[in-house]
Structure 1
Amino acid sequence: MSTHTQVSTHTQAGAAFLSVRDLKVHFSTEDGVVRAVDGLSFELERGRTLGIVGESGSGKSVTNLAILGLHDRGRTALDGEVLLDGKELLTATERELERLRGNKMSMIFQDALASLSPYHTVGAQIGETYRKHTGASRREARARAVEMLRRVGIPQPDVRVDDYPHQFSGGMRQRAMIAMALVCDPELLIADEPTTALDVTVQAQIMDLLRDLQQEFGTAIIFITHDLGVISRIADDVLVMYGGRCVEKGGRAEVLRAPLHPYTLGLLGSMPSLDGPVDVPLSPIPGTPPSLLTPPQGCRFHPRCAFAEKVGGGLCGSNRPLLEPSEGHSERHAAACHLTPEQRREYFADYAAARVN
Structure 2
Amino acid sequence: MSTPFLSLRDLRVHFSTEDGIVKAVDGLSFDLEKGKTLGIVGESGSGKSVTNMAILGLHDPRNTTMDGEILLDGKELISATESELEKLRGNKMSMIFQDALASLSPYHTIGAQIAETYRKHTGCSKKQARDRAIEMLRRVGIPQPDTRVDDYPHQFSGGMRQRAMIAMALVNDPELLIADEPTTALDVTVQAQIMDLLKDLQQEFGTAIIFITHDLGVIADIADDVLVMYGGRCVERGTKKQVLSQPDHPYTLGLLNSMPSLDGPVDVPLSPIPGSPPSLLNPPSGCRFHPRCAFAEKVPGGLCSTERPKLDVVEGRGAACHLTQEQKQDLFADFAATRHN
| Distance of 2:144 and 2:115 partners within structure 1 | 17
Identity %: 81
**Aligned counterparts of 2:258 and 2:285: Cα–Cα separation in 1:** 25
Structure 2 stretches lacking a partner, 5+ long = none
Structural mapping, 1:1-357, within 5 Å:
15-324=3-312, 331-357=315-341
Tell me the secondary structure at the aligned position of residue 50 of structure 2: helix
How big is each residue's C-alpha offset from its partner over 1:5-48, in whole Å with a ceiling of 9 and x where there is no partner? xxxxxxx9x53100000000000000000000000000000000
Task: Choose 65-74 or 274-283, whichever is displaced more.
Answer: 274-283
Residues 227-263 of structure 1: CA deviation (Å, up to 9, x unaligned): 1111010000000000000000010000000000000
Give the whole-Å Cα distance in 1 for the aligned partners of 2:93 and 2:61.
19
Q: Which runs of 4+ in 1 moved over 4 A?
A: none
Question: In 1, distance between residues paired with 2:48 and 2:315?
Answer: 24
Counterpart of 2:32, as a letter, is L
For normalisation by structure 1, the TM-score amounts to 0.94
- State the 1:331 CA deviation: 3.4
1:63 is paired with a residue whose SS is helix
Distance 1:262 1:324 in 2: 16
Q: Secondary structure at the match of 1:296?
A: coil
Supply the distance in 1 between the matched residues of 2:243 and 2:136 (Cα, whole angstroms).
35
Distance 2:312 2:254 in 1: 20
One-letter amino acid matched to 2:274:
P
The letter of the residue matching 1:347 is L
Deviation at 1:356, TM superposition (A): 2.6
Name stretches of at least 5 consecutive residues in structure 1 with no aligned partner. Answer: 1-11
What is the CA-CA distance between 1:313 and the residue it aligns to? 1.2
SS of 1:320's equivalent in the other structure is coil
Write the distance in 2 (CA, Å) between the matches of 1:35 and 1:73. 15
- Give the TM-score, by structure 2 length: 0.99
Shift of 1:279: 1.6
Amino acid at match of 2:325: P
SS in 2 for 1:20: strand
RMSD: 0.9
1:142-167 Cα offsets, whole Å, 9 max, x none, are 00000000000001100100100000
